Amino acid sequence: MLISRKFSMLLIGLLLLTVSGELFATPREEAIKSGFIYNFARYSQGKWFNASHQHNYNICSFNLDFVVTATKTLLHMKVESRPVNLILLTKDNVDLTSCNTLFISKADTDIWNTMEEKQHFPNMMLVGEFDGFLASGGHINFFIVSGKIRFEVAPKRLRKSGIKMSSKVLRLGRVYEERAQ
Amino acid sequence: MEITRAMNSLRSKHHHYFAMFMLVFSSQAIFFNQAHAESEAVFDDLPSLDFDSLMAADIQVTSAMKRLQNKSDTAASIYVLTHNEIIQSGVTSVAQALTLVPGMQVRKLDNNQWAITSRSTAGRHSSKLLVMIDGQSIYNPGFAGVYWEAINVPLYDIDRIEVIRGQGGLLWGSNATNGVVNIITKHTMDTRDNLVQVATGTKQDYKADFRVGGDLSNYSSFRVSGGIEKSDAANKSDRELSANDDGKKQNINARGDINISDDLSLLAQFWYNNIDMGQNLRLADLNTNLATAVVDQYSLDYLQLMTRLDYRLSSDSNQMLQASFSSQRGDQAYYRDRFLTTDIDYQMNTLIKNTQFDWGINYRYTDVFIEESDYFSNISNVNHYDHFGGFVQFQFNLVPDKFKLIVGNRSERNSFTGWEHQPMVRFLWTPASRHSIWGAVSQGVRIPSFLEYNNMARIHSAYGIRTDIVGSNDIDAEKSVSKELGYRYSLSDVEVDVSLFHTKARNVLVIEPNVNDTFTYITYNFLSEGELTTYGGEATVHWRPYQRLSTELGYSFTSYQYDLPEGTEEAIGYDSSMRQIMAKANFELTNDHQFSVIYRIEDGEAYDTRDYAVLDVSWRWQVNEMLTFSLTGNNLLYGKHIEYGNSGEAYTIATYIEPSYLAQITATF
């Protein structure tokens, strides 16, 4: 009885600890996400990236931590023989013209919400990591289940942006269906 | 410089303060304020950037679940059987999948029953091997082993099988002195499709399985799977009877993964297996006491319920609470048992700067019912077994990325032998980035089984005299001290893994024969007074010369030597040695056609059989996105053979293991 009471206390303690706030991404989490983003590009085809006209495959983000981690993780990686390059965006200088992938981190939700043209980014893969990202026009959204990273995809919206993602990748993700995609 | 600034910026975000509410959690508050201990090692520890590795990667270095963190970072002899290898090899059961692991002793008694262990002689009723499904032990306290034929986990739902050879998994539980087999099933988020699989073959009338998977709200998901299988008997038995090892299996499983938040998840799982199989037994004739062969039809029911709460406390700390219940019921001609087991486990893992601190507590209660029969009776009125205790482990990164020292202990009190302790010390030295050397000294404990502690079993006698094996309440736990040394070399396409071990066990189970004054009654009394020395090693070389070709060569050697008190005999195995050579190749001819070849030579006298070799070949054809066809041949080239002739350890009469073929179609949609 004593033992079962102690275990009950442990369980209660565990549940009370769930009131903690959300945790921001660790470098390891960001490194894994950057690996996914690299693979999304590798396993996609379409006019969003033309290797014969671009010297790099550019992944853009407003998040300095992500850019630093991804730069190191994706060092020497290539998409269609073009080196992967990370570009740090700032609130004051949002020049998306050279971006092939735009990653919106959880910390940059406010910036995303102020970007009026987000529904109409042509030739750009939009990747995020927060609730409502797909509903607000994103293409791919990361989420975490049991300590592992998974993703959901809006394939119709990807196609509208000129991106055809491999069916093998789509099968790994959760397909987001929206009436007015 | 930029990276350092970025890291510092990141650290400032991670100051979480929690109220302390009980002592066990008070220590955690210290950890929450720890700055991110992850350093450059973050990048070294990362998997390769292929999709499969990324999908399998944990976002934390620590992990609360009982499983390996990183193969290259583990100071133990380990082997990970991946989902792809299991599927490509064409195996049809978990037991058969273990034939793919170099160094595992996997012997078939007949078409249904298996004897499996590592670094020792395997027995049908003795293994000293801890077997877990998703962290839940399926160890049978009745005979200290596992009903392998009752493990019906659908192979397509298995993420991987982690095998630790030797005492490397002691902290995961008791009775792991020979090793740990940890079957980890896929998260339901990764099985949200539907699947139908049908198979038939020369030894299998039919096998039909299904899976239905889907989404629930808030990134939660579920699956339900099940199957039915009917197999044929062998053509030839070892003894005078015709083989009788046909069988029927059915199972239904369900799992739900509820994602309460990014940091909190709940797993609920249910398994039910029922098997009904034939076997030939060697029993005592109740009139003459001589050996007589008996045809038997036996059944097993196995039900498991498990729930687990995983909670990520911070980027460097997590905890797990798991509660499970299992019911096992077996009905054989000579033995009927029923076990109801409740397990509760709590585990916490934390990284404090360069030190990983793991601790946990556990409790198990088992209700036991063994029906008295002509062959089995209870010695005393013992109808339950329980144990409780905990473990603690520190992993010190003494020289970051170079030298790690691991110190730990598991202490548990069990209702048979009282408190038992399993201390261990390990090191992992990485002198260069591709080379690592590890070593360990550990003490393992094997708790006596219920049969050894409380039962009397009637066996046949060559003299026609009533003979019983008699258990004892005075029996002690077997304690084994193991010294291990290993080396790993890892390049992108070549991996070398070598392990050596020397284990000396005391309080080993032996049998003392006694004859009464009138020569009408013989007893074999269990005593825990033997000593046993085992030594040997395993070596594996994995080479991937081309992207489409993967090869592996394995060699293992085990020597087994008893030191018996005068007047006693071995209870499990006898002085012997075993050698195994294994060669494996997986070849992708095209994206749609894959071939798997496994050649295994088993040598040694431990099982009282001839040496034998087996060749297994499988062809897998991805017909289209939805459909896969596979054709597998087992035990090819060398004809039928006996794999288990050690009649002193099993009532079951072995049958000849014959060449067999299986065709299988899998549809996913």
B580 three-state secondary structure: strand
What local confidence, expressed as pLDDT, does residue B559 receive? 94
* Residues of B in Cβ contact (< 8 Å) with A74: 49
Q: Which residue of A has its CA nearest to B190?
A: A172
Q: How far is A100 from chain B (nearest CA, A)?
A: 19
State whether residue A106 sits within 8 Å of chain B by CB.
no
Residue scoring higher pLDDT (B536 or A111): B536
When CB atoms are compared, the residue of A20, A35, A146 closest to B18 is A20
What local confidence, expressed as pLDDT, does residue A160 receive? 84
State the residue range of the domain holding A32: 25-175
Architecture of domain B37-668: Beta Barrel (2.40)
* Residues of B in Cβ contact (< 8 Å) with A32: 46, 54, 57, 59
Residue B342: both structure tokens together? 């409740």
Domain locations in chain B as residue ranges: 37-668
Residues 6 or more apart in contact with residue B187 via CB below 8 angstroms: A145, A146, A148, B159, B221, B257
CA distance B317 to B96: 37
What local confidence, expressed as pLDDT, does residue B3 receive? 38
Q: How far is B81 from chain A (nearest CA, A)?
A: 20
ipTM, two decimals, is: 0.82
Using 50, 70 and 90 to split pLDDT, how confident is the model at B71? confident
State whether residue B49 sits within 8 Å of chain A by CB.
yes
State whether residue B13 sits within 8 Å of chain A by CB.
yes
CA distance B97 to B632: 13
Give me the mean pLDDT over the A150-160 stretch.
Answer: 88
| Burial profile B28-57: b = 16 or more Cβ within 10 angstroms, e = fewer | beebbebebbbeebbeebbbebebeebbeb
User: For residue B636, what is the enclosing H or E element?
Assistant: strand B627-636
Residue A47: both structure tokens together? 């006019």
CA distance B165 to B417: 26
When CB atoms are compared, the residue of B190, B193, B311 closest to A17 is B311
* Residues of B in Cβ contact (< 8 Å) with A147: 58-60, 63, 265, 310, 312, 318
What local confidence, expressed as pLDDT, does residue A124 receive? 87
Q: Which residue of B has its CA nearest to A43?
A: B51
Using 50, 70 and 90 to split pLDDT, how confident is the model at B9? very low
When CB atoms are compared, the residue of B6, B18, B261 closest to A68 is B6
* Residues of A in Cβ contact (< 8 Å) with B309: 11, 14
State whether residue B16 sits within 8 Å of chain A by CB.
yes
State whether residue B58 sits within 8 Å of chain A by CB.
yes
- Tokens 């790993």, located at residue: B488
Residue A47 domain flag: yes
* Residues of A in Cβ contact (< 8 Å) with B261: 18, 22
Q: Which residue of A has its CA nearest to B191?
A: A172
* Inter-chain contacts counted by CB atoms under 8 A, chains A and B: 159
Question: Cα dihedral angle (A109, A113, A117, A120), rounded to 10 degrees?
Answer: 60
When CB atoms are compared, the residue of B22, B259, B311 closest to A18 is B311
Residue B514: both structure tokens together? 């006694």
Closest CA to A102 of A70, A137, A74, A61: A61
Using 50, 70 and 90 to split pLDDT, how confident is the model at B515? very high
Residue A5 domain flag: no
Per-residue DSSP letter, B237: B
Residue A6 domain flag: no
Residue type present at position B603: D
* Residues of A in Cβ contact (< 8 Å) with B189: 145, 150, 174
A2 three-state secondary structure: helix
> CB distance A28–B60 less than 8 Å?
yes
What local confidence, expressed as pLDDT, does residue B42 receive? 47
Using 50, 70 and 90 to split pLDDT, how confident is the model at B613? very high
Q: Which residue of A has its CA nearest to B52?
A: A172
Question: Cα dihedral angle (B522, B523, B524, B526), rounded to 10 degrees?
Answer: -170
Q: Is the pLDDT of residue B301 over 90?
A: yes
Residue type present at position B225: S
Using 50, 70 and 90 to split pLDDT, how confident is the model at B536? very high
CA distance B362 to B347: 9
| Chain B residues 304-363 within an 8 A CB cutoff of chain A | 309-315, 318-319, 321, 344, 346, 363
What is the CB neighbour count within 10 angstroms for residue B431? 10
B19 three-state secondary structure: coil
State whether residue B372 sits within 8 Å of chain A by CB.
no
Closest CA to B221 of A141, A15, A139, A146: A146
> CB distance B310–A22 less than 8 Å?
no
Q: Is the pLDDT of residue A10 over 60?
A: no
- Provide the mean pLDDT of chain B: 86
Say how many residues make up chain B: 669
The CA–CA distances, whole Å, from B544 to B477, B491, B595, B618, B631 equal 45, 10, 15, 19, 24
What local confidence, expressed as pLDDT, does residue B404 receive? 92
State whether residue A1 sits within 8 Å of chain B by CB.
no
CA distance A141 to A126: 9
> CB distance B18–A17 less than 8 Å?
yes
State whether residue A51 sits within 8 Å of chain B by CB.
no
Give me the mean pLDDT over the B61-66 stretch.
Answer: 59
CB A85 within 8 A of CB A100: no
> CB distance A21–B16 less than 8 Å?
yes
When CB atoms are compared, the residue of A24, A28, A43 closest to B13 is A24
Least confident of B81-90, B259-268, B644-653: B644-653
| Burial profile B280-303: b = 16 or more Cβ within 10 angstroms, e = fewer | bbbbbeeeebebeebebebebbbe
What local confidence, expressed as pLDDT, does residue A23 receive? 52
CATH number at residue A32: 3.40.50
State whether residue A93 sits within 8 Å of chain B by CB.
no
- Tokens 């709460």, located at residue: B309
Pairing of strands B77-82, B291-314: unpaired
Q: Which residue of A has its CA nearest to B59?
A: A29
Task: Quick: pLDDT tens for B128-142.
Answer: 888 999 888 887 777
Give me the mean pLDDT over the B433-440 stretch.
Answer: 92
Using 50, 70 and 90 to split pLDDT, how confident is the model at B47? low
B168 three-state secondary structure: helix
CA distance A105 to A89: 12
* Residues of B in Cβ contact (< 8 Å) with A31: 42-43, 46
State whether residue B187 sits within 8 Å of chain A by CB.
yes
What local confidence, expressed as pLDDT, does residue B574 receive? 85
CA distance B437 to B432: 10
Residue A87 domain flag: yes
CB B294 within 8 A of CB B249: no
Q: How far is A28 from chain B (nearest CA, A)?
A: 6
Give me the mean pLDDT over the B78-97 stretch.
Answer: 92
Q: How far is B484 from chain A (nearest CA, A)?
A: 32
> CB distance A174–B36 less than 8 Å?
no
| Chain A residues 70-89 within an 8 A CB cutoff of chain B | 72-74, 77
Q: What total of structural domains would you count in chain A?
A: 1
Closest CA to B371 of B295, B455, B297, B458: B455
